[in-house]
Amino acid sequence: MLIRPLGAASLWIGLLVLPFTGLFKAVLMGVALLVGGLIWKAVARFVHQILSRFQSYQSRLNPLSNLIKRVNPLRVNPMPAKIMGVVGLIMVPLLLNNYFIDVLTVAGIYVVLALGLNITVGLAGLLDLGYIAFYAIGAYTYALLNIHFGVSFWVGMPLGGITATLFGVILGFVTLRLRGDYLAIVTLGFIQIVHMVLNNWDNMTQGPNGILNIARPAVGSFSFQSPIHFYYLILLICFLTLAIIIRLDRSRIGRAWIAIREDELAAEAMGIPVTKYKVLAFTLGAAFAGIAGTFFAAKFAFVSPESFTFLESVLVLAMIVLGGMGSIPGAILGAATLVILPELLRGMADYRMLIFGALLVTMMIFRPQGVMARRKLDIVRNVDSP
Amino acid sequence: MLLQQLIHGLTLGSVYALIALGYTMVYGILGLINFAHGEVYMIGAYLAIIFLGLLTAMGLTSQHLILSLFLAFLGSTLFCGAYGFTLERIAYRPLQKAHRLSPLISAIGVSIFLQNYVMLTQGSSDKVFPHLLPEGGIQIGGIVMSYIQILILTLSVLLMIALHLFVTKTRMGKAIRATAQDARMASLVGINVDAVISTTFILGSALAAAAGVMVAIYYGVVNFNIGYVAGIKAFTAAVLGGIGNIPGAMLGGILLGMVESMGSSYLSSEYKDLYSFVLLIIVLLVKPSGLLGARVNEKV
């Protein structure tokens, strides 16, 4: 009974890949699917049995998601765990080689980006597909100011943030009339336009060659050079971002955003100035992206349009959806996972991105609300929600 | 010159329109931006090359050119229909009740997966489509229409008419329209919504495959990453015409092709991809629901 649908599915997939892989590999794949499916079912049954001894009926429905719930680090006593986490993050570069410190630094950049986008998409519910455009604007602002006027990083960073914010205000006002997916497509258009301008405005941006030799940050005679310096810098930026965003999240503004996300009309009826808060969400998200962009330019001393594509935007979006929309720990976890996972898969060489794509789908199927989903209304925790 | 560009734009536009139809139909029913749709188009182009290669090896192409082209076309569209069906089953159906963005991420995963799957099995270099059709063309007045352009135009017009008839005249078409209006109500009056969704995916993917085959013939080369740009443009076309609206997708696609062709010949070809987005933003600002899209009233 078990083998028939599985066999049919394997045969079907085998047929589908046949023209691409040739007969031998197609048969191989079909057989692998069949065997893998059988093993998966057996394991799932085993896990069911184990879990059902400990837990109520509900746990049988989805063993995997329950497993994730069980190991959810947030369930651990929060304060000591947080202190351990911070200490761990400060200590960790002492144990790693430069390559992995760089990976962690990149993860840090994406944490800032994901936290920023989490304001726009997660809290206010505005689907922004062109988020990376602000990141690009921040990076190029610092790069150009530095190359032409010798502006230092410490001045360039806020300036990059401000420029991105200005663009955020403009885009926010322009797109206010649009809802949902139309907003998404205009922001998609925005990233394409920014990317194309960066690529083609040779006099200003040096086109696809990018801008080289951007100055690294320095304090007095001390210059940030080694990966470990940048690691601590981005760690600091991450903590600052986190502090601001946690405060925002719990503030009146944060609640207004959630209200707009849940029901715009009702929010307006309750006296929330929807327009103002929407533009604010857009703008604040953009500011964090801009700052992350200046750090990116300083870290790699090089910017080119290649780093700022629509796909990059989608990656950041995937991070917050994977982590759980609107959830701050989720955004951090999502960012760290999607940066570090492909690095860990590097051993698979060519199959890396293939597996990555498949994992995205699998994770969504097993946990569509994200790994650390935010309880729907944690403000009114004790009220029964449908 | 102007007319020549017009024809080029029309050819390009009808291809965009075919891809846009898949986006718009899926969106109309599920409210999902199917990011993997561009990859299906790319797979369609590859399949045509693979099938033609097979037919050439069998010695059929040299004797019956039209028949073998037809077979490759048919094979490619059928296979892509099957791909669309499978994708929906694996990646979207389990997520029907999830948050709106979850299927979007799943679609992105599928897109990355399919791109790499084709790259791994077919190599990352360009694939050349065999030169089979005679070069030349027909001269009308001062302009030359190549045989390939004529083929693409006729075929896409035929496909669009067929789709229109299917959606307006058949029982399944009626079910599709009903589901697009209100899926829950449709299921209450006995429409098998899952079957409707599957049909939509199969149709949309088959149309994308047709577009893929034709582009492969038109440009002569195919690469594993062509799906991305084509997908974005087709999606733009769908939004331009009013997403969820079938005639809108056709209009949007053709308009997009025209604008792109005119823009790159009269303004600057460097910014080729820019014009369509600028046009889109202008249209959306003036009429936020797209050219033919209905004004949707907010449900309170």
Give the pLDDT confidence score for residue A238 in this predicted structure: 94
Summarised one tens digit per residue, pLDDT across range B42-86 is 999 999 999 988 888 888 777 788 888 889 999 999 999 999 999
Is the Cβ pair B98, A364 closer than 8 Å? yes
State the Cα–Cα distance between residues A29 and A294, nearest whole angstrom.
46
Mean predicted confidence (pLDDT) in B98-115: 85
Non-local CB neighbours of A213 within 8 Å, separated by 6+ positions: A147, A301, A302
Owning domain of residue B156: 11-226
User: Which of A143, A203, A133 minimizes the C-alpha distance to A164?
Assistant: A133
Asked if the C-beta of A368 comes within 8 angstroms of chain B's C-beta atoms, the answer is yes
Give the pLDDT confidence score for residue A381 in this predicted structure: 43
Lowest mean pLDDT of A174-178, B80-84, B169-173, name the range.
A174-178
* pLDDT of A72 strictly over 70: no
Is the Cβ pair A185, B106 closer than 8 Å? no
Nearest to A364 among B109, B122, B270 (CB): B109
- Residue B66 is assigned to a structural domain of this protein: yes
State the Cα–Cα distance between residues B116 and B224, nearest whole angstrom.
8
> Of residues B264 and B133, which shows the higher confidence score?
B264
Angle formed at CA B109 by CA B210 and CA B81, multiple of 5 degrees:
25
- Residue B5 is assigned to a structural domain of this protein: no
> Looking at beta carbons, which residues of chain A come within 8 Å of B89?
none
Mean predicted confidence (pLDDT) in A114-128: 90
- Residue B280 is assigned to a structural domain of this protein: no
Query: What is the DSSP-derived secondary structure letter of residue A303?
Result: B
* pLDDT of B3 strictly over 50: yes
For chain A, the domains span 3-71, 77-366
Give the pLDDT confidence score for residue B300 in this predicted structure: 41
Q: Which residue of B has its CA nearest to A317?
A: B105
Within 247-266 of A, beta carbons closer than 8 Å to B belong to 265
**How many angstroms separate the CA of residue B175 from the nearest CA in chain A?**
25
Mean predicted confidence (pLDDT) in A154-176: 90
Ordered DSSP codes for B193-208: HHHHHHHHHHHHHHHH
**Beta carbons of A109 and A234 less than 8 angstroms apart:** yes
pLDDT averaged over chain A?
83
Give the pLDDT confidence score for residue A118 in this predicted structure: 92
- Residue B208 is assigned to a structural domain of this protein: yes
Write the single-letter amino acid at B239.
V
Mean predicted confidence (pLDDT) in A140-159: 91
Task: Report the 10 Å Cβ neighbour count for A109.
Answer: 22
> Looking at beta carbons, which residues of chain A come within 8 Å of B101?
121, 127, 317, 321, 325
Top CATH class of A77-366 equals mainly alpha
Q: How confident is the model at residue A178 (pLDDT cuts 50, 70, 90)?
A: confident
- Residue B298 is assigned to a structural domain of this protein: no
Summarised one tens digit per residue, pLDDT across range A291-331 is 999 999 999 989 999 889 887 888 898 888 888 888 888 89
Q: How confident is the model at residue B299 (pLDDT cuts 50, 70, 90)?
A: very low
Give the pLDDT confidence score for residue A1 in this predicted structure: 45
Summarised one tens digit per residue, pLDDT across range B231-262 is 888 888 888 888 888 888 999 999 999 988 88
Pick the residue of B277, B280, B283, B286 with the most A CBs within 10 A to test the interface with A by mutation. B277
Domain count of chain B?
Answer: 1
> Looking at beta carbons, which residues of chain A come within 8 Å of B31?
181
Give the pLDDT confidence score for residue A385 in this predicted structure: 41
Mean predicted confidence (pLDDT) in B22-44: 90
Helix axis angle for A227-249 and A328-344, nearest 10°, is 150
User: Which of B112, B100, B289, B102 minimizes the C-alpha distance to A185?
Assistant: B289
Give the pLDDT confidence score for residue A384 in this predicted structure: 41
Angle formed at CA B208 by CA B204 and CA B213, multiple of 5 degrees:
150
Mean predicted confidence (pLDDT) in A208-225: 84
Global pTM value: 0.82
| CA dihedral over B291, B295, B296, B298, signed as positive or negative | positive
- Residue B141 is assigned to a structural domain of this protein: yes
- Residue B1 is assigned to a structural domain of this protein: no
